[in-house]
Amino acid sequence: MTGEMFLNGCLIVSISVLLIAMAVIIVRIVRGPTLPDRILGLDTLVTVSIGVIAVFGIITGFPIYVDIAIALGLVGFLSTIALANFLLRCGDDTLTRRDHNAPARRQDNA
């Protein structure tokens, strides 16, 4: 078994594992009982996409994919901050369903 064959097998296995991870995270985003769960799922999806882009860079041999991964990381960071700010300003019961595993939300006068 040569190194090329080993590398090809590893790349196929790792990109399959990354796609499975993406599917698992999409299940969480669809199911996710509350709004911050969905925001966290989108953030994790960006992280997995960076990994997929890096593996694509190894498969195709184009090192330009590193720049694309860095740009995607920047966009993901900014979008997570923006969504957290949105949650802080207008996250309430009209936008989110209650988490059935967690205890009921704190009662306050807001």
Partner 1 sequence: MHDLLPYIVGLMCLFGSFFVLVAAIGVLRLNDLYMRMHAASKAGTLGSGVLLLAIAVFVQDASVVWRALAGVLFFLLTAPISAHLLARAAYIVGYQPCDLTTQDAIADAAPSLREQRNS
Site residues for partner 1 per CB under 8 A = 3-4, 6-7, 9-11, 13-15, 17-18, 20-22, 24-25, 27-28, 34, 36-37, 39-41, 43-44, 47-48, 50-51, 54-55, 57-58, 61, 63, 65-67, 69-70, 73-74, 77, 80-81, 83-85, 87-88, 91-92, 99, 101-106, 108, 110
Quote the least distance from Cβ 36 to partner 1, whole Å.
4
Q: Helix H segments across 32-64?
A: 35-60
Question: Which residues, in sequence order, are CB contacts of 79 under 8 Å at separation 6+?
Answer: 42, 46
Q: How far is CA 75 from the centre of its chain?
A: 12
Write out the two tokens for 24.
Answer: 């698992």
Quote the least distance from Cβ 109 to partner 1, whole Å.
8
Quote the least distance from Cβ 91 to partner 1, whole Å.
4
Quote the least distance from Cβ 108 to partner 1, whole Å.
6
The span from the CA of 79 to the CA of 99, in Å, is 24
Question: Which residues, in sequence order, are CB contacts of 102 under 8 Å at separation 6+?
Answer: none
